[in-house]
Structure 1
């Protein structure tokens, strides 16, 4: 399990009847006499027992299949599997190199894909002031329906997150990317409101199939205390995409005003079609699992699998007939999953509204269409940096709630300042209330982007099974993505140019995020204290803590690893 390491001086058990979960009891094809127990680890080398008969388990792929003689102790380990009964040992340096390769080859490419998807989703805000509204003669209500249509289908198809467990990811992701690239490009052909609203609905389907499941997909490659920063790298592509969209829109509007087609049509085509090209690369670059990562050596693939303590037989069963529906039902009845989902809902009220309305809001501040496009970019660049810093700090401290609460409150205060400034604008000189409102956009946007990063990561931190993580992400998105149904209707033209009601509403919902985070933090702290008391009580009585049973309610890798060292058990705690 991610984030779980053997205690010093405490060897892992090799008995096959001590656990029903292959991640806790490695699989052996021989008897106990044929597979003697390995000795304790000697720092800094970490011992991991490895299943070696892969003939019936094809998930690992040809690079890890054994078609060669077992090697002796003096033979080169690179790319080979140990003999039956032996133990694979890897150094912290080897593990670090595997993580670095995932950081360099996997995460940036996924971030690029999300950048393209968010670009195609949010560029309608730039297209609006680039001539879309006038050419198609859209009313304010019709424009809001264009935004809402995307999120209606996005919500209805959130269940497709679970398809990551059914279809090989390299195929599934490639088809999603190609799908939204085509639909986004076809928007340039729209000649009516009805045609464009259908395309926006189709775009919601294709993007729902991809984005919400990526944090779950990343959890198959990283330990849980590593996830926040990687999710931050992925999600930070959203503000980067919005900034890029604004900058690109500025160039398109400036240089295509006298072109053969309208600037907004050029915008949809230029920003949509690259996804179709990138989909081809996705087919070859996206690995289905750590054991099939082409950019790793064969030994590194083994290290990547074993560091997560997921054997190939476990992965194969999970993807095949052994789909654990019990885990999905457990998550469906867990109140913690719904607290995270309603936090996500509240964040999404702001997340869905600001990117598509900011160009209009800036234009209503008195800026020209061209300048409004340009001024939309800097706040998102600022948010991009803040998200990365927040995610990195959260992983380093192995803490989520303090960063989430802090950013939610800062964002709420910024929205409130914008609302109050608009309400009392008559008491301020024009240059001052314009400056205040524009500057407050920076912390408002950085706050909700950072909060969303932490919420998504926190929702998976405390789940053991892959099905549980997938179910938690599905619940998070099914409920959370209802937020945009409200967010896309917060800034009607009738409320301009001050939009006091919309700003105040976002402020309230960001306070709700902070309150729910406090409640979830208190719940997890109580569960951790109860787990600690139970463990210490068992130790004082001289008995093992639930020996042979999977502790799937106590999630591991938190800041209280002292329990593991004190009891010799793999005791797991919630990250708070």
Structure 2
């Protein structure tokens, strides 16, 4: 007579914490490097702005439009890209994304005027579409809601590192102007585009699609992790959330609230990225390398914030408090930058930047707690694609303001107002679990504080 099968025992908190540390150690360094390279390739035109504008006769408005067009095609294709990744797996799809965006980034070296500039920026956005929401979806395969803000914060360190490294590196590459008959900005695009193509093969070889295919997890660890995540998804579904329908995503007011908050956040991020080097350059006689070094300072502050604060967003109420406070701090920093001397203004940008990725790592925990399956993939892509339209609107409007007034600092006040409105709206954001804890009259259920 065969022995009865015993029910698997749940992992102890200490064992689960050890698995979480292992996942962070094995997954996050590669994902961070991928994001570093992607951000270098999407934003290196910020450092190339002055020399490209001179060589190609680009106006400030044309530059702003070209910078923003990347986000237009990126946003339009994010939802189909994320749905494809959900079907074919993260390893294959992220590899494809990296190869195509790397080749198109190299092709930026051969821009000849406004038209080719616009076309290549649109194609670059289309190629990279789905990377960020794809990684946000990928993290749900590994981390539960309490751990996801921390993992996302580590991932967003890639943006900080890209801007810390990218400033001095880009400045040094620009000083290669004339080498082998190429402009400095051409060297910039080629040298920073090649690593994406090369790293794609590392991703193909190393990145597992999920816990079951991770060779560094034991069978028991992988099965225990998948049971834990499945239980969380089942809990969401049993409370009336966790829908698999894309229609439910579009009809969820919380998703659109998260989109608005994220839109205002992205307005600030990309306006800072694309116009800060020009603002610093206009304040004195700096070499391209010195501008690159000064441009890196706010991103050092952003890295410190991303590495330290998201771990405290481990409950719904704390997440909301940190999110709202972070948006207010960002607004205050921009006001300081708009009305101060160049030195104090740069300090104000650093204050704002400290909260950049604290805010972003928390925003995505709200929609990701409300859906499962294709709805989760589509929902995360919808939030990111609509929010990233801020990356199109911000630089475009900033370019028009600079061209019409001659002073890009005027646009910072508008950004500060948008951030303050977003802070007020963020007070209404709720995780899926909070809906179940809140009766129809809007008051928290007894014994279930939020």
TM-score of the pair, normalised by structure 2: 0.89
- Give the match for residue 239 of structure 2: none
- Give the match for residue 225 of structure 2: 304
Give RMSD over aligned pairs: 2.9
Higher relative contact order (CA 8 A, sep 6+): 2
The CA deviation at 1:273 is: 0.7
Partner Cα separation in structure 1 for residue 431 and residue 374 of structure 2: 26
The CA deviation at 1:376 is: 0.3
Are 1:514 and 2:423 counterparts? Answer: yes
The CA deviation at 1:523 is: 11
- Give the match for residue 269 of structure 2: 351
- Secondary structure at 1:295 match in 2: coil
Are 1:253 and 2:174 counterparts? Answer: yes
For the structure 1 residues 475 and 294, does the alpha-carbon distance in structure 2 shift closer, same or farther, using more than 3 Å as the test?
same
Instruction: Please show how residues 494-533 of structure 1 align to structure 2 within 5 Å.
Output: 494=403, 498-520=407-429, 528-530=437-439
Are 1:444 and 2:345 counterparts? Answer: no
The CA deviation at 1:446 is: 2.3
Does the aligned pair in 1 maintain the 2:339–2:345 contact within 8 Å?
no
Partner Cα separation in structure 2 for residue 190 and residue 486 of structure 1: 23
Partner Cα separation in structure 2 for residue 177 and residue 386 of structure 1: 27
The CA deviation at 1:485 is: 2.5
- Give the match for residue 158 of structure 1: 78
List per-residue Cα deviations over 1:467-501 (Å, max 9, x = no partner).
33223212212321221222012333436764232
The CA deviation at 1:418 is: 2.2
Note the residue ranges of structure 1 that are not aligned, 5 or more in a row: 1-33, 35-69, 73-82, 315-323, 422-432, 538-561, 564-572
- Give the match for residue 172 of structure 1: 93
TM-score of the pair, normalised by structure 1: 0.70
Instruction: Please show how residues 46-57 of structure 1 align to structure 2 within 5 Å.
Output: none
Partner Cα separation in structure 2 for residue 295 and residue 310 of structure 1: 23
List per-residue Cα deviations over 1:510-536 (Å, max 9, x = no partner).
112101111225998676332899998
- Give the match for residue 134 of structure 1: 54
Does the aligned pair in 1 maintain the 2:366–2:432 contact within 8 Å?
no
Partner Cα separation in structure 2 for residue 174 and residue 526 of structure 1: 38
Partner Cα separation in structure 1 for residue 122 and residue 418 of structure 2: 26
Does the aligned pair in 1 maintain the 2:398–2:408 contact within 8 Å?
yes
Does the aligned pair in 1 maintain the 2:330–2:356 contact within 8 Å?
yes
- Give the match for residue 343 of structure 2: 435
Partner Cα separation in structure 1 for residue 407 and residue 443 of structure 2: 56
For the structure 1 residues 395 and 496, does the alpha-carbon distance in structure 2 shift closer, same or farther, using more than 3 Å as the test?
farther
Are 1:92 and 2:37 counterparts? Answer: no
- Give the match for residue 374 of structure 1: 293
Note the residue ranges of structure 2 that are not aligned, 5 or more in a row: 235-241
Q: Could you say which structure has the larger radius of gyration?
A: 1
Does the aligned pair in 1 maintain the 2:244–2:376 contact within 8 Å?
no
For the structure 1 residues 247 and 536, does the alpha-carbon distance in structure 2 shift closer, same or farther, using more than 3 Å as the test?
closer
The CA deviation at 1:326 is: 5.0
- Secondary structure at 1:499 match in 2: coil
Does the aligned pair in 1 maintain the 2:244–2:371 contact within 8 Å?
no
Does the aligned pair in 1 maintain the 2:211–2:225 contact within 8 Å?
yes
Does the aligned pair in 1 maintain the 2:74–2:128 contact within 8 Å?
yes
For the structure 1 residues 93 and 368, does the alpha-carbon distance in structure 2 shift closer, same or farther, using more than 3 Å as the test?
same
Instruction: Please show how residues 141-290 of structure 1 align to structure 2 within 5 Å.
Output: 141-159=61-79, 160-254=81-175, 256-260=176-180, 261-290=182-211
Deviates more, 1:162-171 or 1:113-122: 162-171
Does the aligned pair in 2 maintain the 1:400–1:458 contact within 8 Å?
no
Partner Cα separation in structure 2 for residue 523 and residue 283 of structure 1: 34
Partner Cα separation in structure 2 for residue 120 and residue 244 of structure 1: 12
Equivalent residues, number: 437
- Give the match for residue 466 of structure 1: 373
For the structure 1 residues 93 and 215, does the alpha-carbon distance in structure 2 shift closer, same or farther, using more than 3 Å as the test?
same
- Give the match for residue 120 of structure 1: 41
Partner Cα separation in structure 1 for residue 319 and residue 157 of structure 2: 17
Does the aligned pair in 2 maintain the 1:353–1:490 contact within 8 Å?
no
- Give the match for residue 238 of structure 2: none
The CA deviation at 1:509 is: 1.1
For the structure 1 residues 325 and 365, does the alpha-carbon distance in structure 2 shift closer, same or farther, using more than 3 Å as the test?
same
List per-residue Cα deviations over 1:157-211 (Å, max 9, x = no partner).
1212222221121111111111111111111122233223221111101211212
List per-residue Cα deviations over 1:347-378 (Å, max 9, x = no partner).
11111211111100101112424222220011
- Give the match for residue 340 of structure 1: 258
